[in-house]
Structure 1
């Protein structure tokens, strides 16, 4: 992994949000930019031993004469757009944690500031930097599975098991107004599907609240997407199941082709490949040490590369908007009311 940090003059980084992701980003920045000053902006007053400056908001940050070149936004989803625009107006390059936003009505304002100030903005979908799923993408690009037939995605874990020792009721995932629910929290799947297969449409969807958990969001989503074979133009269905209910931790993507089948196991970092002609199976274990933390390091390195190159490497804010837009369409098709602000923006 090339060290692009050495080619950039970055000495101040602000991390917005002091939760688990904010703490993780503090560690990543400290490792990759060891001499940079880190400001942790947490409205709840959370702190990190790795941060040099602690504030509650941007006003306090400026009063402390802390002027960052980079901002990492990992506040609650409903705050993403306001935080992004506030920092962008200061001329700060932005890495915005997924999903991009809850209310997209100010998206064009953010784009205008980005273009006027020539800023770099990326969205944090770290699964794009996991070697095993990149291997799946390459397998499909090289047409090793032949003509694609259909795709099956299955992901889920019991919500109270996500953060042991912390009540699930306090999590963003459990709160509709903060941007929770399986569609938003597990939007990695929607991002990587579009990253691998391209644009897609919603065929049908069903959203449910099946558990006894005290949450006001969907905890089970079952829907079908369709993309089109770029060579033949034929529709290829993708069936997706997401949930907060199952007691096991599961994440798979299975791609069926007329020459074989590939199954990505995201929990164990294994790629299974069944070859139809020889009727044999191959198992590729493509692991990296500390897969979650390492993927965030690679993501941050790609962000720094984007700043140096002046063009996005990874997930752009336009990509992030496409994912939010598809989520909104899935909600609408199911009969669920989407978050405020999305219907008018996307229907205009």
Structure 2
């Protein structure tokens, strides 16, 4: 199988190297000649193109991975579909629902496999959270909090962060498009379809960027779970966590520390007559019920490149089965875009919050 990688930045490089690990023939396309030739030498690519239109016509690839900046997704994907290729699309799908709907029409007409690269679904830690939530250890779920943050200048340390696509409005950057697209997909995967979103895009920090550097949202899901989301480009100590609150307590995963915790009231609650022998208990009122606030802690296996490798394997398996219907199809990308563009999200990013 011959795979065309369109865009040879960090994520395109990863996909190209993984494709070689899977024994695929790799063709590369990028407007940056130096980057293109460096990756070609590293991966043994069988072809290189600077123009995606020429690559579409001449490469003879069976499928393409679109790994360009977000605002440049639709045009190359359209050319590849016209050439008869299957598509794996990096997130977010594109910049607007209108663009996405037009691309969907092309996908349907072309009768080709289209898969969103929503990598969190392939990460061991998120799959473990999914398994635990499906088992309902804390009973009925009421609410959840997903929190993330990382410092943009530390992302690609040797490069000027101001030139990152994530830092530029014209390239589809900002926390909302760059990071929250992961969170919105995870919310739908874990808790059901997103029904309503309210929140705000903000500029809170001093980074030299023209996009939102922080986003906070509350999401209503079809299962009745209320989910609070927060993500930024400002956190000097990286963080990524989820806490789910239910009728018996909470389940929490700290992905950066590789831990998950569970607190169950059925083992942590003590009536007044049973507290005398136990130290370090918390009482809401002096003569009330007491609680052991310490959760039970377990290791959480976290993914690295294996998640991206599993993602690409899944795409190949879809191609081998000609699976035109998949839960990671273009509709998954469109639903994320609808959440991102919700009328309930106000834009405070154009005015710095002092």
Pick one of 182, 190, 198 that aligns with 1:204: 198
Find the aligned partners of 1:99 and 1:176 in 2 and give their Cα distance: 14
Pick one of 164, 167, 190 that aligns with 1:171: 164
Tell me the equivalent position of 1:44: 32
Find the aligned partners of 1:293 and 1:314 in 2 and give their Cα distance: 22
1:163-221 alpha-carbon deviations (Å, 9 max, x no partner): 11011111111011211111111121111111111112345312211111111101011
3-state DSSP class of the match of 2:207? coil
In the alignment, is residue 88 of structure 1 matched against residue 77 of structure 2? no
3-state DSSP class of the match of 2:205? coil
Q: How does 1:271-286 map to 2 (within 5 A)?
A: 271-279=260-268, 281-286=295-300
Count of residues paired in the alignment: 317
Q: Cα 1:254–1:98, aligned 2, differ >3 Å: closer, same or farther?
A: same
Tell me the equivalent position of 1:149: 142
Tell me the equivalent position of 1:270: 259
Once the two structures are TM-superposed, the CA of residue 54 in structure 1 deviates from its matched residue by 1.8
Q: How does 1:173-192 map to 2 (within 5 A)?
A: 173-186=166-179, 187-192=181-186
Find the aligned partners of 1:214 and 1:310 in 2 and give their Cα distance: 45
Tell me the equivalent position of 1:316: 329
Find the aligned partners of 2:333 and 2:198 in 1 and give their Cα distance: 22
Structure 1 or 2, whichever has the larger Rg, is 2
Tell me the equivalent position of 1:68: 61
Find the aligned partners of 1:161 and 1:144 in 2 and give their Cα distance: 37
1:130-188 alpha-carbon deviations (Å, 9 max, x no partner): 12211211222222221112111110001001111011111111011211111111121
Tell me the equivalent position of 2:52: 58
With 104-113 and 319-328 compared, the bigger mean Cα shift is at 104-113
Find the aligned partners of 1:134 and 1:70 in 2 and give their Cα distance: 27
Q: Gaps (5+ residues) in structure 2?
A: 269-293
Tell me the equivalent position of 1:5: none
Task: Return the TM-score normalized by structure 1.
Answer: 0.85
Could you tell me whether the CA contact under 8 Å between 1:303 and 1:313 is conserved in 2? no
Q: Gaps (5+ residues) in structure 1?
A: 1-9, 230-234, 339-348
With 147-156 and 267-276 compared, the bigger mean Cα shift is at 267-276
Find the aligned partners of 1:313 and 1:270 in 2 and give their Cα distance: 31
Q: Cα 1:198–1:62, aligned 2, differ >3 Å: closer, same or farther?
A: closer
In the alignment, is residue 215 of structure 1 matched against residue 189 of structure 2? no
Tell me the equivalent position of 2:10: 20
Find the aligned partners of 1:214 and 1:272 in 2 and give their Cα distance: 38
Task: Return the TM-score normalized by structure 2.
Answer: 0.84
